[in-house]
Chain A
Amino acid sequence: MHQTAINLTFIDYSILGLYIAFVIGIGFALKRYMKTSADFFLSGRSIPAWVTGLAFLSANLGALELVGMAASGAKYGIATCHFYWVGAIPAMIFLAVFMMPFYYGSKARSVPEYLKLRFDERARAFNSISFAIMTVFASGISLNALAKLLNQLLGWEYNICLWVCSLIVLLYVLKGGLTSAIYTEVLQFFMIVLGFAPVVWLGLKDAGGWTSVKDKLAGVATDPVALNLVSDASKTFKPDAWTSAWTPLIAGPSQNPMGVDLFAMIFGLGFVLSFGYWCTNFLVVQRAMAAKDMTAARNTPLVAAVPKMLFPLLVILPGMIALALSATAGKEYRLPQAIITQARMTTTIASIKQSVSGGTDLAAAQENLSAKAGVSFNPAKVATLLKSPETLTVSDEKLAIRLQDAVVNDYDGVILSLVKRYCPTGLLGLALTALLASFMSGMAGNVTAFNTVWTYDLYQAYIAPDKSDDHYAWMGRMVTIVGILLSIGAAYFASMWSNAMDIIQLVFGFVNAPLFATFLLGMFWSRTTATGAFIGLVSGTTASALFHACTISQGNVPGVKGGYLAKLAVLPSDMAQNFWLASFAFTVCFVLTVVISLATKRTKSDEDLKGLVYSLTPKQIVTQAWYARPEFIGIVLLIVCIYFNYLFW
């Protein structure tokens, strides 16, 4: 992705243009249905389940997800599927079967509003403010990433990419509100699938099919340092480390490339993080809330679960294909890397020769080299170069090749490197349109969730209550514009201070980690009090910040990556640290909420909590046949999901 820009032709631009015309057209076609604020924010609760279901999926499938999952596929192999088969699917089924009746049945217009109905204003304020800020930054980060990508790949101007992409999203959300976002998300869903599928197909064919990919990855696992996959030269894995989902995980953190243990995976990711995201994040839940009736609302996550289960084929497999290709002689493929420029290479070569003769301090020599070359190096490979006397005698050309080979992989470039490798004019336009579509679906999702939470949970609740419905509908449009402008601001912020951005994302990780405990207790235990929930939530958030401050993962220095207060525990990887943090925060929030609830008085009567808490809500009279009930469909999906896990055990 850092090489020369590729040129698009008339055909490619035509495909891109057609797509843009259609998404904007849908916005304009829906304009005449936008009469009340409920139409704009809730789609008037009139959309069938298959549409909300695909939108549910698409809103989450931003460009970063697409790029990031392929990156993880190369980095960690098939274990990345745990984000789907252990994480998302069970959580989506839980949402459909157990939680949706309360979200939809309570007539709450947003997730924070549910918290207000169930508890009180404190929980709502905490959740809505953090959510509003988070969505703005999330869309800013992905906007920045997209503009950078288009700039590197196509040579388009960064600022133009930023503004034009935002403007398109603004146009169709402004015209058609949530309906427009949901409808275009469905179109974008098909665009993403049909745009990337041929690339994956060609890649798999080129790599010689799945069996051949597996064989190659077995070789990669036994010598991971050859492809800069690990930074420790002596590190090796069993042959199935990249191609088995469970065996390496059960064997322990040192046996799988993720560096994660079984408990952190199942409890931390599978339970806490995934249920916390899929069951409480308004970005996705909003899609289900827009469904036309209770059945459609409950079916929304179930409809989404079917393609979600198969998505690893589209988003993770390309990463594994890329890794297999780079391990195949004669394919002339390498995982993308930053390129050391000619001018910098000269000084880098001079510097490394000096270090070999003089310095013994490896770490200092490495840091010096990275500064000279302007890229990060794989420590194991640079150490080998620094120790070898041959470095002094070999020709500059050969040394340049070896230095370039030691540059760390840019995993995020994997998916586009495959697009570039296989797509002729025509298909290229389609694949790039799919990339744009994935970005727009994510951004529109963020913007519609942001404008609803702002208007209903912050503006109407605290700033200007008791205004006319027209006023709120007007506010929704205004804040859509403001939300987009804030996202653009956040994108520029991200491009300038990427470290600050890491910290912001970290803080939101802290806020999200305990959230599911609050919802779980709130929905299924009528004794939970508002004070208990609020203190539990705030303590859970504080606990995750403290956990981060007191633990560190192997190979990191104290700072943004944690451990700046103490080093109470050293975890095997960043991911393990993240999963354990979530488990810890959840437990703190859960226990404190229970204890404080028992010590405080309930402020809401059983009557108040009807429709909000499981045990106090009268059972719905079931009218569907047994095979059409969400419970039955959920169980079938769960069995299929377990089968997938078994298949790639």
Chain B
Amino acid sequence: MGLDIRFPIGIMFTLIGLLLTVTGFVTGGDPAFYKISLGININLVWGIVLLLFGGLMWGFAILEKNKK
């Protein structure tokens, strides 16, 4: 099938990762905000994880495309 599913997955998680990372930066100075997540700025941490995952998917898709 003509669509490589890694592209949409990569793009979507990159965008969501960006959203979370930015939220993490903006709210990072407010300890009360992260009281429920045990004081961890989970939006920043997980945003970066999602960015990495999205980038990886994207990278694989591009590699495959170049091979063809």
Chain A residues, Cβ within 8 Å of B50: 194
Chain B residue nearest to A55 in the complex (CB): B5
Taking the nearest CB of chain B, how far is it from the CB of A216, in angstroms?
17
A11 → B minimal CB distance (Å): 5
Instruction: Tell me if B19 counts as interface (CB < 8 A to partner A).
Output: yes
Interface residue? B66 (CB, 8 A): no
Determine whether the beta carbon of A427 is less than 8 Å from that of B20: yes
Counting CB contacts under 8 A, is B1 at the interface?
Answer: yes
Q: CB of B40 within 8 A of chain A?
A: yes
Chain A stretch 18-65: residues in CB contact (< 8 A) with chain B: 18-19, 22, 25-26, 29-30, 33, 43-44, 46-47, 51
Question: Does A388 lie at the interface of the complex (its beta carbon under 8 Å from any beta carbon of B)?
Answer: no
Residues of chain A within 8 A of B34, CB atoms compared: 424
- By beta carbon, the residue of chain A nearest B43 is A426
Nearest chain A CB to B47 CB, angstrom units: 8
Confirm or deny: A356 has a beta carbon within 8 angstroms of a beta carbon on chain B: no
Indicate if the CB atoms of B19 and A14 lie closer than 8 Å: yes
Does A423 touch B at the CB level, under 8 Å?
Answer: yes
Interface residue SS majority, chain B = helix
> Does B53 contact A15, Cβ atoms closer than 8 Å?
no
Q: Does A492 make an interface contact (CB < 8 A)?
A: no
Instruction: Report B's interface with A, CB cutoff 8 A.
Output: 1-3, 5, 8-9, 11-13, 15-16, 19-20, 23-24, 27, 33-34, 36-38, 40, 42-43, 45-47, 49-50, 53
For A179, what are the chain B residues with a Cβ–Cβ distance below 8 Å?
A: 1
Residue pairs across A and B with Cβ atoms less than 8 A apart, 6 shown, are A30-B3, A33-B3, A194-B53, A198-B45, A424-B37, A426-B20
Task: Give per-residue flags for A5-22: 1 if the beta carbon is below 8 A from chain B beta carbons, else 0.
Answer: 000000100110011001
Main secondary structure of the interface of A (DSSP, over half): helix
A194 touches which of B13, B38, B42 (Cβ 8 Å): B13
A427 to B48, CA, bound (A): 12
Which chain B residues lie closer than 8 Å to A14 at the CB level? 19
Residues in A lying within 8 Å of B, measured CB to CB:
11, 14-15, 18-19, 22, 25-26, 29-30, 33, 43-44, 46-47, 51, 179, 183, 186-187, 190, 194, 198, 202, 205-206, 421-427, 430
A423 touches B37 (CB 8 A): yes
- Enumerate the 10 nearest inter-chain pairs by beta-carbon distance, A residue then B residue, closest first: A426-B43, A426-B23, A22-B12, A183-B5, A198-B46, A46-B1, A187-B9, A427-B42, A11-B23, A426-B20
Contact A186 B5 (CB under 8 A): yes
- Which chain A positions have C-beta within 8 A of B3? 26, 29-30, 33, 183
Question: In the bound complex, do residue A430 and residue B1 qualify as a contact, i.e. CB atoms below 8 Å apart?
Answer: no
Asked whether, in the complex, the Cβ of A426 is within 8 Å of the Cβ of B38, the reply is no
> Among B15, B36, B49, which residue has its beta carbon within 8 angstroms of that of A423?
B36
Which residues of B lie under 8 Å from residue A44 when comparing CB positions? 1
State in angstroms the CA–CA spacing of A198 and B47 once bound together: 11
